[in-house]
A and B are shown apart, each in its own frame.
Chain A
Amino acid sequence: MQRAIITVVGKDTIGIIAGVCTYLAENHINILDISQTIVQGYFNMMMIVDVTTLDKPFGQVADELATLGQEKIGVQIKCQKEEIFNLMHRI
């Protein structure tokens, strides 16, 4: 399974999770895990998603999520393949 990590950081507002999840559902991306906190009014979320069955290039999904965050929701969204975190934090 090819997994990716989506991080969402920004000022808390209504509909952040809904906005991201709608995009993921439309693009057939399954969510495997979500963790989320609010620190001093700032929304912090991490999602682990399955990108094995993507029907468009990964780079395009990352760009579209970033645009969605910036233009529609007002938060910063990053989507990165999982290996970078695994390699950095696990021996």
Chain B
Amino acid sequence: MINISEVRETNKMIERENLDVRTITMGISLLDCIDADLPALKQKIYDKIYKSAYNLVKVGEEISTDYGIPIVNKRISVTPISLIGGSACRSPEDFAQIAHTLDKAAHDVGVNFLGGYSALVSKGMTEADRLLIESIPQALAETELVCSSVNVGSTKTGIDMDAVRLMGSIIKKTAERTADRGSIGCAKLVVFCNAPDDNPFMAGAFHGVTEADRILNIGVSGPGVVKKALESIHGEGFETLCETVKKTAFKVTRVGQLVAREASRRLGVPFGIIDLSLAPTPAIGDSVADILCEMGLEYAGAPGTTAALALLNDQVKKGGVMASSYVGGLSGAFIPVSEDQGMINAVNAGCLTLEKLEAMTCVCSVGLDMIAIPGDTKETTIAGIIADEMAIGMVNQKTTAVRLIPVIGKGVGEQVEFGGLLGYAPIMPVNPYGCDEFVNRRGRIPAPIHSFKN
């Protein structure tokens, strides 16, 4: 039987170390909504989302009360809209109308975000894909809860450089359209390589075409819990370090598993996966960078950071896989800058640069995340940064992503405030040298060879 110290440990994690379930995300397939008539399509989309998710928030809150565990976000992901709107939309403005429908549905069911305003163009773009991508700046500027993602590459197909170039300019335009709000539109826009179909985390969540009609994916969190556990083992060897991270990840994941099972039962929707990511928030102590410091680094970004992060990421997976049979999504440690106070401190101390962050993304999920850069950064430079990150994902057979925010009107040394879970970020310097000729080449980078690995 459970004893008092175990109960106290669990409650201490929740009350003092920010243990929470970060998100319950309901994936909803919109494939059966496809219609050549735009008003009819919009109505079908709204009805399907509302009917599927009207009690998602209520059930989430009930589970939260029953077990005393906070469930921070309730979200929805839908089939990539470029596939759904292809036959009805003739212009970017048509696609933006669907974004408004999604936004209204998300508001009416009370979720925090809705993801899936997406296009999957890892080998090439259809006309619908191109129109959707061109509509992103308008869609993100005019809606509040809609999130967008574009998958521009994969290990199997290579990288669609035409899409990468286009995304460089789309990110810039999105920043300009939301310049009055710190260019926040870009915080809702992710560029992926090897995007997973079942990711519950925003802004990159969408409901893949290989998924069931409706599915529940759960994102757990708990950097604060891992940090606290590491506080007691200073000076111990790597074996103890790994064991401690693994055990903690196990406990955190089990909570996610419980919430997943209950939510699935109460909503009558099958459980999909648990995403084991350590997702930081701006709250003090809820930081992945602080875990790295606890391992023995002065700041995140110091030499040794990539190794420490690789260890952390791997142990989180090892512990989590033992706790749940269905692990998926991104599963690793997130290293966003604006959402992690430890990362912000490292940038402000001059310890963490864009280049070091790029190296860190080689060993962890997800990528260059929530990084504010000067508003006058060239479109081709943004495309070049995207191409680099996509290449890391393509060659290493992992998901990588880019969520850059060129903050219009601001430069290095200033900072931008997004508020809430998105936090604030210092503007980071970008390498000033150009890559125009490389990025402006047409076509795609071929898929890498899958042999002769060195």
A: which residues have CB within 8 A of B?
5, 7, 33, 35, 37, 44, 46, 48, 58-59, 62-63, 78-89, 91
Asked if A89 contacts B2 (CB within 8 A), the reply is: yes
Asked if A88 contacts B10 (CB within 8 A), the reply is: yes
Jot down 16 A-B pairs with beta carbons below 8 A, ordered by A: A7-B8, A44-B8, A46-B4, A46-B7, A48-B1, A58-B66, A84-B67, A84-B69, A84-B255, A84-B258, A85-B2, A85-B10, A86-B2, A87-B255, A88-B254, A89-B2
Q: A35-B4, A84-B67, A85-B7 are in contact. List 11 more A-B contacts (CB 8 A).
A: A5-B7, A7-B7, A33-B1, A44-B8, A46-B7, A46-B8, A80-B66, A85-B10, A87-B255, A87-B257, A88-B254
Q: Given A58-B66, A59-B66, is A83 in contact with B8 using a C-beta cutoff of 8 Å?
A: no
| Contact partner, B68, options A35, A84, A86, A87, Cβ 8 Å | A84
Classify the secondary structure of B's interface with A: helix
Cβ–Cβ < 8 Å partners of B8 in chain A: 7, 44, 46
CB-nearest residue of chain A to B257: A87
| Contact partner, B11, options A35, A62, A78, A89, Cβ 8 Å | A78
Taken together as a complex, chains A and B put the C-alpha atoms of A91 and B319 apart, in Å, by 12
Q: Given A5-B7, A44-B8, A84-B10, is A62 in contact with B65 using a C-beta cutoff of 8 Å?
A: yes
Cβ–Cβ < 8 Å partners of A84 in chain B: 10, 67-69, 255, 258
Taken together as a complex, chains A and B put the C-alpha atoms of A70 and B254 apart, in Å, by 30
B8, B67, B251: which has the most chain A beta carbons within 10 Å?
A: B67
A33, A58, A79, A81: which has the most chain B beta carbons within 10 Å?
A: A81
Cβ–Cβ < 8 Å partners of A83 in chain B: 67, 258
Cβ–Cβ < 8 Å partners of B254 in chain A: 87-88
- Tell whether B3 is near chain A: CB-to-CB under 8 Å: yes
Asked if A44 contacts B2 (CB within 8 A), the reply is: no
| Shortest beta-carbon contacts, A-B, top 3 | A80-B68, A59-B65, A87-B254
Taken together as a complex, chains A and B put the C-alpha atoms of A39 and B255 apart, in Å, by 28
- Tell whether B231 is near chain A: CB-to-CB under 8 Å: no
Taken together as a complex, chains A and B put the C-alpha atoms of A35 and B254 apart, in Å, by 25
Cβ–Cβ < 8 Å partners of B66 in chain A: 58-59, 62, 80-81
Taken together as a complex, chains A and B put the C-alpha atoms of A11 and B11 apart, in Å, by 18
- Tell whether B6 is near chain A: CB-to-CB under 8 Å: yes
Cβ–Cβ < 8 Å partners of A58 in chain B: 65-66
Cβ–Cβ < 8 Å partners of A88 in chain B: 6, 10, 251, 254-255
Asked if A7 contacts B11 (CB within 8 A), the reply is: yes
> A1 to chain B: closest CB distance in Å?
13
- Tell whether B62 is near chain A: CB-to-CB under 8 Å: yes
Cβ–Cβ < 8 Å partners of A86 in chain B: 2
Asked if A48 contacts B2 (CB within 8 A), the reply is: yes
Q: Given A7-B11, A87-B255, A88-B254, is A37 in contact with B4 using a C-beta cutoff of 8 Å?
A: yes
> B183 to chain A: closest CB distance in Å?
40
> B1 to chain A: closest CB distance in Å?
7
Taken together as a complex, chains A and B put the C-alpha atoms of A86 and B254 apart, in Å, by 9
Taken together as a complex, chains A and B put the C-alpha atoms of A81 and B255 apart, in Å, by 12
Cβ–Cβ < 8 Å partners of A46 in chain B: 3-4, 7-8
| Contact partner, A59, options B6, B62, B69, B257, Cβ 8 Å | B62
Asked if A82 contacts B4 (CB within 8 A), the reply is: no
For chain B, residues 55 to 71, give those with C-beta under 8 angstroms from any C-beta of chain A: 62, 65-69
CB-nearest residue of chain B to A57: B62
Taken together as a complex, chains A and B put the C-alpha atoms of A48 and B2 apart, in Å, by 9
Taken together as a complex, chains A and B put the C-alpha atoms of A91 and B324 apart, in Å, by 11
> A29 to chain B: closest CB distance in Å?
15
Cβ–Cβ < 8 Å partners of B68 in chain A: 62, 78-80, 84
Taken together as a complex, chains A and B put the C-alpha atoms of A49 and B2 apart, in Å, by 12
> B8 to chain A: closest CB distance in Å?
7
B424-440: CB near A (< 8 Å → 1, else 0) gives 00000000000000000
Taken together as a complex, chains A and B put the C-alpha atoms of A33 and B3 apart, in Å, by 10
Taken together as a complex, chains A and B put the C-alpha atoms of A48 and B11 apart, in Å, by 15
Taken together as a complex, chains A and B put the C-alpha atoms of A57 and B444 apart, in Å, by 59
Taken together as a complex, chains A and B put the C-alpha atoms of A79 and B66 apart, in Å, by 8
Taken together as a complex, chains A and B put the C-alpha atoms of A19 and B264 apart, in Å, by 37
Cβ–Cβ < 8 Å partners of B10 in chain A: 84-85, 88-89
Cβ–Cβ < 8 Å partners of A89 in chain B: 2, 6, 9-10, 251
Cβ–Cβ < 8 Å partners of B11 in chain A: 7, 78
Cβ–Cβ < 8 Å partners of A5 in chain B: 2, 7
CB-nearest residue of chain B to A90: B2
> B255 to chain A: closest CB distance in Å?
6
> A58 to chain B: closest CB distance in Å?
6
Cβ–Cβ < 8 Å partners of A7 in chain B: 7-8, 11
Asked if A87 contacts B258 (CB within 8 A), the reply is: yes
Asked if A85 contacts B62 (CB within 8 A), the reply is: no
Taken together as a complex, chains A and B put the C-alpha atoms of A13 and B186 apart, in Å, by 54
CB-nearest residue of chain B to A46: B4
